[in-house]
Each structure stands twice: as C-alpha cells, then as structure tokens.
Structure 1
C-alpha cells in the first residue's frame, strides 16, 4: 500500500478527471442525455477517437463558472484525501469559448475551485493551458497567446494535447515560442499514440523541460539516452497507456526500464475515471505492478516537484512537505 506516501500529479486533464457521479448530476441539472457515454457509472468509449468524442460530450455538462469551480474543488479534494500536496491541471481556454462561457470565466471558475481546495486541505495547484492539435495551428497559437497574456499567477505552463497524429510538432512551434517568451513552463504530449519519432521531433523543435507520456521513446535506445542526458522529465500515466492499448499490459510497459536508464519519470493519472484509474491507483501500480519500493516512489514524487511549474519559494515549501 502507498497510502502513507505523499503524492504529486503533473499530468491530469481537468474535464478528464470529472467524477462520473458529478457528471451525471450535472447532466440531470441541464437535462442533457449522456446515456451513450456514461452507463452504470462508467464512461463509455472503445478507441482513441471515441475517447475524445466521449470526453467532449462529458465536458458539455459543465457550463458555468460555478460548475468549473465545483469540478476543480471536487477533484482536488479527492487528491488531498490521498496525501497529494501538489497538482497541475491541464485546461483549455478554447473549451471555455466553445461552450459559450468564455475563456476568462472558465479560468476564473477553475481558479476559484483551486482556492477553495487549498483553503480546506492545503493542496497547491497550478494550471497548464493547452492547445489541441486537432483544431489546427491557429487555435493552438491562440491558446498560447491567451496563456501568455493572462497575467494569472495560477497559469504557469503551456501544453499541446489532442490527437497526436494531426500534423508534426513543427506546425505548432510558434505557439511554444510565444509561451516560452512569456516565461511559461513547456510540456507537450508525445510518444503516446505515435512512436519514438514524435519524441525526437519534440526535443528537436521545442526542447521542453517535460513531455506528457513519452513512453514510446523506449523504441529507440539512442533516444532514451538522449532523454536521460538532457534531463527531460516524462509525465508517465501507466493506467492510461494500458487503457488506450499503447502497451498490452503492465509487464510490457517501460516505466521501470526508463527509470533504470536514467530518464527522469513521474507518475500521473491523465483522465482517471475514463481509464478506470486514479492517482491512488497509479501509485499502487508503481508498487505492485512495477515493483518499486517506497524510496523509489518518493524519488519520482520528488522529481515531480523539482520539475513542477512553480516559483522557487513554493517549490522549496513543497519539497519540505515531503
């Protein structure tokens, strides 16, 4: 059991963390039929495109600033309840616009949820604004521009998510230039749906401090060494990888091989209820499926704090809580 260990999460999509019970309550509130996507308390999808479709449908039941405050507070309270001291939530201002709420109100609601959660449990949280590949480069540039100009102390990072098969990293390079110039931390989804080349592209074009997933780097030994030498941190989400069939089972998952090769790795849950997981389960998998001891798990947690997109005073305080 890992219940006694402090925990950190760097890779979680806010809408993807929506508890099914809360989603069902919200659907009833707005009289939205989500029966094709949520049955018997379980989100329903069968492959990556249908997962994205389910994710978008579930997101439709969160419509107001207060809805987003409630969603954020609920998830962070769940994390705090298992000993989590720090969380980074991936958010999309584009989503706020698409649902008619607007980016500012969407972010304000999430921020209010963060403040409530911290007041009740002490958990620290920050926001990573993401652009979504499948909406095209202009949309991603817009998201970077929003993050750069937001002047919001909770927004500390920029990400690229969505369907990894849409375009190459170079198509989105300008967005990362904007975010970098604004002093935001950089991370990017790569090496999940697509192979090792997507991780190489990311290192060549963006040189981010972190990569979301990155696990298919294991297909290229030279690339694994490059990641280790550069100190690039991988935000690894084993439960998600198995659910999406990136690897067939935990025995073939490369988390331990990557760590043994000197790559910096952390543990996260990605879109937990969609993948029948949670941060609690991911930590338990680290112990039971991968055979890591407490010291090794604490090392990954410390790596998460060392790589977190926070100011140095906050980082020191969080490291002290370990």
Structure 2
C-alpha cells in the first residue's frame, strides 16, 4: 500500500485555518466583501512570515460568521482531509468565534458543525471530533467563559480542551482555572507549547495545565533532559512539520526535530495545523517525512497507533478506527 492510500489520523487541525482558499473566496463573493489582497496569483493564501500569516488568517476567517457558514466550512475541510486518506480527525474550534462565548449561540454553532461532521462521516468516511479552545491572547477571563461553554457541551462530539493563539502572551498558570474546569467535565487536555517559546515554557505548561498532549512541543529538542522527561511521561506531541518549516522555525525537512524526537522515544504524531496557509496536506507531510528520514510504512503505522491511543474520542470510536487501520494494513 502506498503512503497516499494509507489511512491517516490527525490530531492538530484548526478548523478556520483549514478553510480552502476557494471556499473563502466564494463566501466573500456571496457577502460582497473584497478580500482579494490576501491571495497570490495562483489563488492560494499569500503568506510572508508568521505575523503576516496572522493578518491573512484574520482576514480570511472574517467572512465565516454564521452557523450555516461553519456547517459549510466543516464539509469543505473534511472533503480535503478525506482526499488525503484521513479517517479520524480532531479539530480546534472556539466559542470566541462561534457565538462570542454566549452558551446559547455556541450551541447553535456547535450543532451546525456536528451536523456537517455526521454528513461527512456518512459520505466520506472521515470521523471528526472537536477540541474547544480559548484564544490565549484574549486573556484568562475570556478563557474561563470558553471553558464553561466546553464543559456544558462535553460529550461524544466535544471531547477535548486546549488553548490556541499567541503563545507568548501570559503564562500557563493564568489559564489553570479554565483547564481545571474542562478536566472536571471529562475533557481530554492538550495545550499549544514549544512552538514560539522554548523548553522552560513547555515545563511550565506541563506543571500548570497537566496536558496529556502538547500542540507542537518541538522546541523541547533544545533540552535533551526535557526530551527524556517527555518520553518518560508519555506526553504526546502533535507535531506539524510543514507548518514549522513554512513559518521559519526550521530551515527544511531534514533539520526538523521530529526525527530525533521519534528516535529518543517521544510519542510523536503528525498533523497539518493550518494546511492551505502552509501549502500542505497530510499526504504531503507523510511523503516529505518519508524522504527526509527514510521512514517506511512501519514507522507511519506506529505514528497512527500513537495518535489513536492519544485521541480524545470514546472507546467505541477508537475500536471502529482501529478496525479500519487493521483492514488497511492487513
């Protein structure tokens, strides 16, 4: 079986950040809004650096406003995921953008997203679950409101809680109340750390928020004692190599630390983060990693197993996904 045909599991995908450029152009045209400046001559998103990425991201997502917009967005994103062989995906969604943290409005947005997810599963064979995320640079008080929205809607579809946004704003302990609230509601815990801040921030995140997974986490490689600690803890890293390279954290695929982390027995997984912004797909991630590190299908089977073990879905869903993987690998 080729890598392209191999079923894949993705744990780190921002829903708005996965919006295909054609979808955003169409939505903007429907609303008679001119955001043509964010696209390049080939029709893709025009990104220069991280700061410009944030501006383009904000402009692109500004046209996604209603529950119906989010329903259509979810279908468009999952169509792209299914095209890369993704059979299970967890996506970050935020009440900050879906209803302004109002619980009643949030339920409406969530219902639209979940409805689209059910349709995509029936038609495309890709299963979606949601990780609710406050936006870090909006501050701890708003994060508390997001946590309450997450706790009130925790269940089969909303299965996790994380945090996104500017990693350099605030400290992990500022958000401890929100994470404790989500944990008490039975949600799985992940947190972005170790992308734009280094090993000390990863340690602080582990201590204050007690996540089982870290979004990115790649800068742990700068402190091998921390790498060994992550391996001993069994902390799972949601690694997004293409994103890191596109944003300049690492110069190329061979210099990305995922290979060393894997060799030192850290539990790593592979995801796309905001794929159309970084010109990537799950197929491309796997292909480039195979080229860079001579990884064979056995390594990618290990990555899938790690991801499935770390997924925040229920046992029945895990069993279903495991059967699909077993059928594919014989």
- C-alpha separation between the residues in 2 aligned to 1:153 and 1:131? 20
SS in structure 2 of the partner of residue 95 of structure 1:
coil
Q: Which residue of 2 aligns with 1:182?
A: 185
Q: Which residue of 1 aligns with 2:53?
A: 51
Q: Which residue of 2 aligns with 1:77?
A: 79
Q: Which residue of 2 aligns with 1:30?
A: 31
Aligned residues of 1:5 and 1:298 also touching (Cα < 8 A): no
Q: Which moved more, 1:58-67 or 1:113-122?
A: 58-67
SS in structure 2 of the partner of residue 12 of structure 1:
strand
Q: Which residue of 2 aligns with 1:21?
A: 22
Cα shift readout 1:195-253 (whole Å, capped 9, x = no counterpart): 11111111111221100000000000110000000000000000000011111221221
Aligned residues of 2:88 and 2:126 also touching (Cα < 8 A): yes
Q: Which residue of 1 aligns with 2:258?
A: 255
SS in structure 2 of the partner of residue 126 of structure 1:
strand
- C-alpha separation between the residues in 2 aligned to 1:51 and 1:77? 23
Cα shift readout 1:140-183 (whole Å, capped 9, x = no counterpart): 11111110011442100001110000011111111110111110
> Shift of residue 50 of structure 1?
2.5
- C-alpha separation between the residues in 2 aligned to 1:24 and 1:189? 29
CA RMSD of aligned residues (A): 1.6
- C-alpha separation between the residues in 1 aligned to 2:39 and 2:139? 29
Alignment of 1:107-126 (within 5 A): 107-126=110-129
- C-alpha separation between the residues in 2 aligned to 1:303 and 1:29? 42
Q: Which runs of 5+ in 2 are unaligned?
A: 326-330
Q: Which moved more, 1:9-18 or 1:144-153?
A: 144-153
Cα shift readout 1:28-73 (whole Å, capped 9, x = no counterpart): 0001111222233121232323322221211112222222111111
- C-alpha separation between the residues in 1 aligned to 2:48 and 2:80? 27
Q: Which residue of 1 aligns with 2:321?
A: 318
* Matching residue within 237, 240, 243 for 1:237: 240
Aligned residues of 2:221 and 2:227 also touching (Cα < 8 A): yes
Q: Which residue of 2 aligns with 1:66?
A: 68
Q: Which residue of 2 aligns with 1:157?
A: 160
Q: Which residue of 1 aligns with 2:302?
A: 299
> Shift of residue 13 of structure 1?
0.1
- State the number of aligned residues: 322
- C-alpha separation between the residues in 1 aligned to 2:176 and 2:294? 38
Q: Which moved more, 1:241-250 or 1:11-20?
A: 241-250
- C-alpha separation between the residues in 2 aligned to 1:85 and 1:91? 19
> Shift of residue 289 of structure 1?
2.2
> Shift of residue 99 of structure 1?
11
Q: Which residue of 1 aligns with 2:267?
A: 264
Q: Which residue of 1 aligns with 2:95?
A: 93
- C-alpha separation between the residues in 2 aligned to 1:285 and 1:110? 31
SS in structure 2 of the partner of residue 10 of structure 1:
strand
Aligned residues of 1:224 and 1:263 also touching (Cα < 8 A): yes
Matched, 1:129 2:149: no
Q: Which moved more, 1:262-271 or 1:89-98?
A: 89-98
- C-alpha separation between the residues in 1 aligned to 2:215 and 2:291? 23
Runs of 4+ in 1 over 4 A off after TM superposition: 98-101
TM-score (norm 1): 0.96
